[in-house]
Amino acid sequence: MATDDYHYNETVLAHIADPHNTGFIEDTDCIGTGTNPACGDEVTLYLEFDGNIVADAKMEVLGCGAITAAMSAVTDLVRGKTVDELLEVTPEVITGSLGGLPKHKRHCARLAQRVIQSAVKNRSSNQ
């Protein structure tokens, strides 16, 4: 098929229509947040650890389709990962797991990564 740098692909569309792991986790201190002032996006990520390993992840998003898809993908990606491994979840990894994002939406993957880092930082600072 012809290249399409304008539209969401089917994977992204499926994430947006039915984002994974929406909601929140009570009693966790591992919470990351992020905003994108230009679009008005607001994002929260909740991680629950079992020892050093992410056991559960949930997210809330009020933002465009791309950030919704990115956060949905993140909640899948982080499961089973150690804190060190979490730092390896780069924007490229997130975009890759979505099969790509339109050019003008790639910043959403960067926001999603910052939210992971924010969560990790909040946890560490409380340990």
Partner 1 sequence: MTRDPVYMDHNASTPVRPEVAEAINRHLGPAFGNPNSIHRFGRQARAAVEEAREHAASLIGAASPEEIIFTSGGTESDNWALRGAISAVEGRGHIVTSAIEHPAVLDTCQLLEKSGVEVTYINPDQKGLVSVGEVAAAIRPDTRIVSIMWANNEVGTVQPIEKIGALCRERGVLFHTDAVQAAGKLSIDVNSARVDLLSASGHKINAAKGVGFLYIRNGVHIDPIITGGGQERNLRSGTENVPSIAGLGEACRIAKKEQPFESREIASLRDKMENEICERIPDVVINGDPGNRLPGTSNLGFLGAEGETLLIRLDLEGFAVSTGSACSSGSTEPSHVLLAMGLPKNAVQGSLRISLGWGSTEDDVNRLLEVLPKAVERVRSIAPRARTASGS
Instruction: Give the shortest CB-102-to-partner 1 separation in angstroms.
Output: 8
Q: Single out the residue of 8, 34, 70, 91 in contact with partner 1 (rule: CB under 8 A).
A: 8
For the chain, give percent helix, strand, coil, nearest 5. Answer: 45, 25, 35
Residue 99's Cβ-side half-sphere holds a number of Cα atoms within 13 Å equal to 11
Looking at 31, 39, 64, 83, which residue is catalytic? Answer: 39
Q: Which amino acid is at 10?
A: E
Is residue 39 part of the annotated active site? The answer reads yes
Window contacting partner 1 (CB under 8 A); options: 34-42, 48-56, 73-81, 84-92: 34-42
Across the beta sheet with 41-50, what order do the strands follow?
A: 30-36, 41-50, 53-62
Query: x/- contact string, 59-88, with partner 1 (CB under 8 A)?
Result: -xxxxxxx-x--------------------
